[in-house]
Amino acid sequence: MVYEQSNRSRAWQRAALFDLDGTLFDSLGIWERIDREFLSDRGIALPDDYAQTVEHMSLNTAAQYTIKRFGLDEQAQDLVHEWQERTRNAYATVQYKPFAQHYVQYLRSQSVAIALVTSLSRPLFEQANHATQVSQYADAVCLIEDIGSAGKHEPDIFQHASHVLQCEPQHCIVFEDTVAGIRSASQIGMQTCAVLDQRTQPVWQTLQSIANYAITDFSQAPTLDTLTKAGL
């Protein structure tokens, strides 16, 4: 299934773009465990910087990077398939982070368009959506793999979401837990809100310094009045 805007004739005045892994979803530990087991099976210890390096990449780009970095005699598509199989059960039971679902519902009640912007593959998104029903809140679901982007270190996926929603970038706010995502969204004039996740704790000070807002959970997320005063 390809997800697109639910009402193409509508141009939204304001929009909120949400990352899923580590932002809306409490996926803590899923990828760390997968990475550790995957590399261990190949006799490789998990490097400290690996997770932060690949977290903003599409699965295919991450697979190519992994093959090159560790000199693996494997095909990218085989790595992607293995990762998807290892994570399938985990995403079938994934849950929202505290207050995240309530905040998304709040923004929708205030006529703010919602886009889900994720590097999850379609099969993993389908699993997570089955568990959380998150797509019921979305006016657009934008998967990095669907637009051929390498990842969130480039603003392509955020520009795509803005285009689909017919909402100008300066009237969009992006909720993200990665430095790459925050920087890319900022480059095209979007407001940004960094969301704390344990795996990005080491770069939290950086996230706080580059984002317009920084929250440890969604009970601290900015109100629409606050966002409006800031120009959203």
Other CB atoms within a 10 A radius of the CB of residue 175 amount to 28
151: left (phi over 0), alpha (psi -120 to 50) or beta: left
Nearest to 86 by CA among 43, 32, 135, 132: 32
Contacts of 139 (CB under 8 A, 6+ apart): 5, 6, 7, 12, 15, 113, 114, 115, 165
Sign for the pseudo-dihedral over CA of 130, 82, 97, 232: negative
Instruction: Please compute the mean of the pLDDT values over residues 2-11 and round it to a whole number.
Output: 51
Instruction: Please write the tens of the pLDDT for every residue from 180-193.
Output: 999 999 999 999 99
Q: For residues 44 and 68, what is the distance between their CA atoms, to the nearest angstrom?
A: 14
- Identify the residue with better confidence: 131 or 58: 131
Q: Which two tokens stand for residue 140?
A: 């657009």
Lowest mean pLDDT among 17-26, 119-128, 148-157, 172-181: 148-157
Domains by residue range for the chain, with CATH: 15-27+95-229 (3.40.50.1000), 30-91 (1.10.150)
Instruction: Please compute the mean of the pLDDT values over residues 68-95 and round it to a whole number.
Output: 91
pTM of the shown model: 0.85
Instruction: Please compute the mean of the pLDDT values over residues 148-162 and round it to a whole number.
Output: 89
